[in-house]
């Protein structure tokens, strides 16, 4: 589409809203299943020892962490490729490529003699699913006017994030059923049989359908087609790096906790079934993201971001207080409730930070310009380009939380890692207040 002016009320009412809505609701399920692929190891890893894989606790945590490295790194590439190629084409292509790692995973888990190096390679390829987030969010932002960007990105990101809960909720059910299984089941020590390959194979036809729907149902916007030469300027923008710091705190925590929580429950409170509890936190966080974007549209992003970090810090302190220590067996109900609160506040912050980004860059570029002039129009377009690029880049760096949080639990005590998170959240409160929320702040948002 060559003519796209969502800030024009007449265009938005007659054409824009309908087209934007269609593109958004095609993007959401495609992103959700991409998150399923990205997070499939968070549950798969908890079942490997039960069916004969001789991996250590540390090795299992590394299997859940590696997709975070490849996901974050690929997000950097996808951030800039998405607007260059277009929403329609890139959604379809990036969805189809996820079939490969799922096929490999489905066959590998059927053989307990599969080398650890092979499993690491598969986990790394599954991480590519996480990259779809950056391209999807960067592209969807171009479809909506300023007043609805927070809500639109909240819906896209929030419901897309639900893929984490979907995989953690459905995988335990899928692997116990022989109906969709391709190949032999695996025998557990208690004599029961499971089908780990179902965790991978069942999503392949879904990916095919979603790719086709995106190819025939979405649009590429000419206004969103941006060469890298016009996007790379964000690396010189201070607020790109500051917002990246904040988003690492919100989304990095959400995705890292989601990856680590199943194994954390299994190793810290083994009497409680992972399948019953692990999916709840990511689901709450994903839905809270939608709410966070909407609330930030009403109250201002910076205020909501500060509230989210204060809530996360308090929640993690609560988690620490309920952990086992010495002869104290800890309290799983208290531990889990505080973790749910941490997910909730991280979701709120995910929505509010993404609402801040376009507001900050519009304010920086349009300062002192008169609406309706050629200079204003050019500055507005550059602000949109940079907002999209910053949105994708911050999401890329924050995705490394998927790696670092499980890696910290693999190499440090749980309590020590948790206190490190609290200290980081305090720094985020300071950054958000000083640059964006206080009276006279450099970039109110």
**Per-residue model confidence as pLDDT tens digits over 80-94:** 887 777 778 889 999
Q: So what's the pLDDT on residue 291?
A: 86
Please state the rounded mean pLDDT for residues 152-176.
86
320-323 LR contacts (CB < 8 Å, sep 24+): 320/415, 320/418, 320/419, 323/268, 323/414, 323/415, 323/418
Q: Is the pLDDT of residue 240 over 90?
A: yes
26-78 pLDDT, tens digit per residue, is 999 999 999 999 989 888 988 898 888 999 888 988 898 899 889 889 988 88
What percent of the chain stands above pLDDT 70? Answer: 99
Half-sphere exposure of 392 (CA within 13 A, CB side): 32
Chain-centroid distance of CA 344 in Å reads 14
Q: In this structure, what token pair is assigned to residue 154?
A: 């909240």
Q: Are 357 and 240 in contact (CB under 8 A)?
A: no
Q: In this structure, what token pair is assigned to residue 161?
A: 């994030």
Site of tokens 């308090």: 314
Q: Are 350 and 289 in contact (CB under 8 A)?
A: yes
Q: What is the 3-state secondary structure (H, E, C) of the chain?
A: CCCCCCCCHHHHHHHHHHHHHHHHHHHHHHHHHHHHHHHHHHHHHHHHHHHCCCCCHHHHHHHHHHHHHHHHHHHHHHHHHHHHHCHHHHHHHHHHCCHHHHHHHHHHCCCCCCCHHHHHHHHHHHHHHHHHHHHHHHHHHHHCCHHHHHHHHHHHHHHHHHHHHHHHHHHHHHCCCCCCCCCCCEECCCCCEECCCHHHHCCHHHHHHHHHHHHHHCCCCHHHCCCHHHHHHHHHCHHHHHHHHHHHHHHHHHHHHHHHHHHHHHHHCCCCCHHHHCCHHHHHHHHHHHHHHHHHHHHCHHHHHHHHHHHHHHHHHHHHHCCCECCECCCHHHHHHHHHHHHHHHHHHHHHHHHHHHHHHHHHHHCCCCCCCHHHHHHHHHHHHHHHHHHHHHHHHHCCHHHHHHHHHHHCCHHHHHHHHHHHHHHHHHHHHHHHHCCCCCCCC
- Closest residue by Cα to residue 26 from 125, 92, 96, 74: 92
Q: So what's the pLDDT on residue 154?
A: 76
Q: So what's the pLDDT on residue 438?
A: 93
Buried b / exposed e across 392-402, counting CB within 10 Å, b at 16+?
bbbbbbbbbbb
Q: So what's the pLDDT on residue 297?
A: 82
pLDDT band of residue 275 (cuts 50, 70, 90) is confident
CA–CA separation, 231 and 221 (whole Å): 16
Site of tokens 């909730």: 344
pLDDT band of residue 300 (cuts 50, 70, 90) is confident
Q: Are 46 and 263 in contact (CB under 8 A)?
A: yes
With 0-12 CB in 10 A as exposed, 13-18 as middle and 19+ as buried, what is 173?
exposed
Distance between first and last Cα of the chain: 31
Q: In this structure, what token pair is assigned to residue 47?
A: 């079942």
Q: In this structure, what token pair is assigned to residue 23?
A: 């593109």
Q: So what's the pLDDT on residue 303?
A: 94
Q: So what's the pLDDT on residue 146?
A: 76
- Give the dihedral of Cα atoms 267, 269, 271, 275; nearest 10 deg: -70
Q: So what's the pLDDT on residue 104?
A: 96
Taking domain 9-218+229-437, whether its CATH number is 1.10.540.10 is answered by no
Higher pLDDT among residues 141 and 209, named by residue:
209
Mean pLDDT of all residues belonging to the chain = 89
Q: Are 225 and 82 in contact (CB under 8 A)?
A: no
Site of tokens 């939380």: 401
Domain boundaries, the chain: 9-218+229-437
Higher pLDDT among residues 409 and 349, named by residue:
349
CA–CA separation, 119 and 275 (whole Å): 22
CA–CA separation, 297 and 342 (whole Å): 22
Buried b / exposed e across 345-381, counting CB within 10 Å, b at 16+?
bbbbbbbbbbbbbbbbbbebbbeeeeeeeeeeeebbe
pLDDT band of residue 235 (cuts 50, 70, 90) is very high
CA–CA separation, 105 and 90 (whole Å): 24
Q: How many residues make up the chain in this entry?
A: 445
CA–CA separation, 87 and 350 (whole Å): 22
């Amino acid at each position: 589409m060559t003519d796209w002016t969502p800030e024009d009320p007449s265009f938005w009412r007659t054409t824009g809203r309908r087209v934007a809505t269609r593109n958004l609701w095609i993007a959401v399920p495609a992103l959700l299943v991409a998150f399923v692929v990205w997070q499939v190891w968070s549950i798969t890893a908890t079942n490997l020892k039960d069916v004969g894989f001789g991996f250590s606790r540390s090795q299992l945590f590394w299997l859940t962490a590696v997709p975070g490295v490849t996901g974050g790194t690929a997000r950097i590439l996808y951030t800039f490729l998405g607007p260059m190629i277009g929403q329609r084409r890139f959604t379809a292509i990036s969805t189809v490529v996820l079939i490969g790692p799922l096929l490999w995973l489905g066959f590998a888990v059927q053989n307990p003699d599969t080398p650890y190096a092979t499993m690491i390679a598969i986990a790394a390829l599954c991480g590519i699913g996480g990259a779809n987030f950056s391209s999807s969010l960067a592209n969807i932002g171009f479809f909506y006017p300023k007043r609805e960007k927070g809500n639109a990105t909240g819906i896209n990101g929030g419901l897309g994030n639900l893929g984490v809960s979907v995989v953690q909720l459905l995988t335990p059910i899928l692997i116990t059923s022989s109906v969709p299984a391709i190949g032999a089941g695996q025998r557990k020590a208690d004599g029961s049989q499971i089908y780990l390959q179902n965790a991978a194979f069942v999503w392949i036809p879904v990916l095919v359908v979603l790719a086709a729907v995106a190819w025939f149902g979405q649009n590429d916007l000419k206004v969103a087609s941006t060469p890298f030469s016009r996007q790379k300027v964000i690396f010189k923008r201070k607020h790109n790096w500051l917002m990246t710091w904040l988003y690492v705190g919100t989304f990095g925590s959400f995705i890292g906790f989601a990856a680590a929580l199943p194994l954390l429950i299994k190793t810290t409170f083994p009497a409680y079934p992972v399948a019953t509890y692990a999916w709840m936190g990511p689901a709450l966080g994903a839905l809270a993201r939608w709410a966070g974007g909407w609330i930030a549209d009403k109250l201002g992003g910076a205020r909501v971001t500060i509230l989210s970090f204060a809530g996360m810090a308090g929640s993690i302190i609560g988690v620490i207080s309920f952990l086992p220590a010495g002869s104290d067996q800890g309290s799983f109900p208290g531990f889990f409730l505080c973790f749910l609160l941490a997910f909730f506040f991280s979701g709120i912050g995910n929505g509010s930070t993404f609402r801040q980004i376009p507001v900050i860059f519009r304010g920086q570029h349009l300062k002192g310009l008169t609406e309706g002039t050629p200079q204003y129009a050019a500055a507005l377009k550059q602000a949109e380009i940079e907002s999209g690029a910053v949105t994708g880049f911050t999401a890329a760096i924050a995705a490394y939380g998927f790696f670092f949080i499980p890696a910290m639990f693999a190499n440090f005590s749980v309590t020590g890692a948790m206190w490190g998170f609290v200290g980081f959240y305090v720094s985020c409160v300071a950054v958000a207040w000083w640059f964006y929320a206080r009276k006279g702040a450099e970039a109110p948002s």
